[in-house]
């Protein structure tokens, strides 16, 4: 995601450019030593690059106000709180550790975490979505994503040997937080995968990209989902990750224990998994709306209550 406010560019002398380049290289090495994933490194490096570009002229004379002004201008563009917290984390590491200027960022507070409920597709919407995909490879990707509760970065990096057809499990190797885990492998997905493998003959990556020695890109999968959502006439603001939310919610509604769902999703904290209790309709089905109760009383010929 690019910062869209108008940048004011200034000529940067050779010394300043050299120092900024060295600091950014040091920052990259620091992230590597801390075990950051390539995805996180790419995001942090992007935040730092944009910050440096807008402060080239004052890099040697940065003040706390410069950092605050930069962040305020981002807030004005309505970036999400999670995005802003990522920017702050990147700058804290860059300015505080790589540049040795922790005072510039020390007093900057993190954004209060937004409490948003995830979008969830109904079972009917999931079926419509899958039915809208004619390409067997693309259908298999989204079917496996939903049926196993995978993140998009996990499904695109699956290899053939990560699927255990006998035990019906999927091995997720070095997922988010560099953690391995196993999750369920649907029998229906196994059949679809078998047909797909026989037809496409992947030899290492389960879902290779245009270059068969590389996996399909996340953006390609996102485009497949967006096209299928439009064809299936699904109006919800759903993304590929919505399939993971739907997997967890449908398991909860079917009576699966929350702790088991936590393990399948790879959540470290049960509180992360508990968000699905707020979107599940399992218990809501037991509650009758007062309007339905009133209308039923009316149809039965009983007098409606007056609220006393």
SS3 78: coil
Residue 308 above 80 pLDDT? no
Average pLDDT over residues 1-5: 45
What is the DSSP code (8-state) at residue 207? S
H helices of 76-204, where?
81-93, 123-131, 136-148, 152-155, 187-200
Q: Is the pLDDT of residue 182 over 70?
A: yes
Spatial separation of the C-alpha atoms in residues 216 and 221, rounded to whole Å: 8
Host domain of residue 165: 123-284
Residue 298 reports pLDDT greater than 90: no
Q: What is the CATH number of the domain that holds 140?
A: 1.10.443.10
Least confident of 25-39, 125-139, 238-252: 25-39
One domain for residues 65 and 184: no
Q: What is the pLDDT of residue 262?
A: 93
pLDDT at 204 over 60: yes
Residues 6+ apart with CB under 8 A from 213: 204, 205
Question: Do 263 and 157 share a domain, yes or no?
Answer: yes
In a domain, 299, yes or no: no
Residue 301 lies in a domain: no
Neighbours of 48 (CB within 10 A): 22
Cα 47 to Cα 180: distance, rounded to the nearest angstrom: 28
Per residue in 10-20, pLDDT (tens digit) is 344 566 677 88
Is the pLDDT higher at 4 or at 188?
Answer: 188
Please say if the pLDDT value at position 116 is more than 50. yes
Whether residue 160 is found in the same domain as residue 265: yes
Confidence of residue 307 (pLDDT cuts 50, 70, 90): very low
Distance from C-alpha of 217 to C-alpha of 206, rounded to nearest angstrom: 12
Nearest to 73 by CA among 6, 11, 132, 139: 6
Please indicate, yes or no, whether residues 91 and 153 belong to a single structural domain of this protein.
no
Q: Are 278 and 258 contacting, i.e. CB atoms less than 8 angstroms apart?
A: no
Contacts of residue 37, defined as CB under 8 A and 6 or more positions apart, other chains included, come to 176, 178
pLDDT tens, 217-274? 999 999 999 999 999 999 999 999 999 999 999 999 988 999 999 999 999 889 888 8
Reported as a single tens digit per residue, the pLDDT across 70-94 is 999 988 888 888 889 999 999 999 9
Give the whole-angstrom CA distance, residue 149 versus residue 142: 10
d(CA 275, CA 67) in angstroms, rounded, equals 34
Residue positions annotated with a catalytic role: 151, 176, 241, 244, 267, 276
Question: Are residues 96 and 153 located together in one domain of the fold?
Answer: no
Q: Cβ neighbours of residue 122 under 8 Å, at least 6 residues apart? A: none
Residue 296 resides in a domain? no
Would 175 be classed as within a structural domain? yes
Q: Is the pLDDT of residue 2 over 60?
A: no
pLDDT at 21 over 90: no
- Overall number of domains in the chain: 2
pLDDT at 1: 46
**Three-state DSSP class for 171?**
strand
Strand ranges for the chain from DSSP E: 163-164, 169-172, 181-184
pLDDT of residue 283: 64
CA distance 250 to 242: 12
Band of residue 43 on the pLDDT scale cut at 50, 70, 90:
very high
Percent of the chain with pLDDT over 90: 59
Q: Which of 132-136, 253-257, 290-294 has the lowest mean pLDDT?
A: 290-294
Residue 120: what pLDDT? Answer: 94
Query: Which residue is associated with the tokens 């010929």?
Result: 301
Q: How confident is the model at residue 60 (pLDDT cuts 50, 70, 90)?
A: confident
In a shared domain, residues 194 and 92: no
263 touches 251 (CB < 8 A):
no
Confidence (pLDDT) at 286: 64
235 exposure class (CB count in 10 Å sphere: 0-12, 13-18, 19+): exposed
Let me know if residue 187 belongs to a domain.
yes
* Residue 172 sits in the same domain as residue 82: no
**Residue 141 above 80 pLDDT?**
yes
Mean per-residue pLDDT over the chain, rounded = 86
């Amino acid at each position: 995601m690019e910062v869209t406010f108008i940048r004011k560019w200034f000529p940067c002398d050779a010394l300043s450019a050299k120092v900024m380049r060295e600091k950014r290289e040091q920052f990259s090495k620091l992230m590597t030593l801390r075990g950051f994933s390539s995805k996180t490194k790419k995001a942090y490096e992007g935040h730092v690059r944009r910050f440096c570009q807008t402060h080239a002229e004052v890099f040697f004379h940065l003040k706390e106000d410069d950092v605050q002004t930069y962040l305020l201008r981002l807030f004005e563009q309505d970036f999400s709180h999670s995005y802003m917290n990522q920017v702050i984390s990147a700058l804290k590491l860059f300015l505080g550790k790589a540049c040795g200027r922790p005072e510039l960022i020390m007093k900057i507070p993190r954004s209060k975490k937004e409490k948003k409920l995830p979008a969830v597709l109904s079972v009917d919407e999931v079926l419509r979505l899958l039915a809208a995909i004619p390409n067997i490879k693309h259908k298999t990707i989204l079917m496996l994503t939903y049926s196993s509760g995978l993140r998009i970065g996990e499904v695109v990096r699956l290899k053939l040997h990560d699927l255990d057809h006998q035990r019906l499990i999927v091995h997720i190797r070095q997922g988010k937080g560099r953690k391995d885990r196993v999750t369920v492998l649907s029998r229906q997905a196994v059949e679809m995968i078998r047909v797909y493998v026989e037809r496409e003959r992947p030899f290492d990556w389960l879902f290779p990209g245009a270059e068969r020695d590389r996996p399909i890109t996340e953006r390609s999968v996102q485009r497949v989902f967006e096209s299928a959502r439009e064809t299936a006439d699904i109006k919800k603001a759903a993304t590929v990750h919505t399939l993971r939310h739907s997997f967890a919610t449908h398991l909860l509604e079917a009576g699966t224990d929350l702790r088991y769902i936590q393990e399948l999703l790879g959540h470290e904290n049960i509180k992360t998994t508990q968000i699905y209790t707020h979107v599940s309709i399992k218990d809501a089905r037991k509650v009758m709306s007062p309007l339905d109760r009133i209308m039923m009383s009316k149809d039965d010929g009983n007098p409606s209550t007056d609220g006393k």
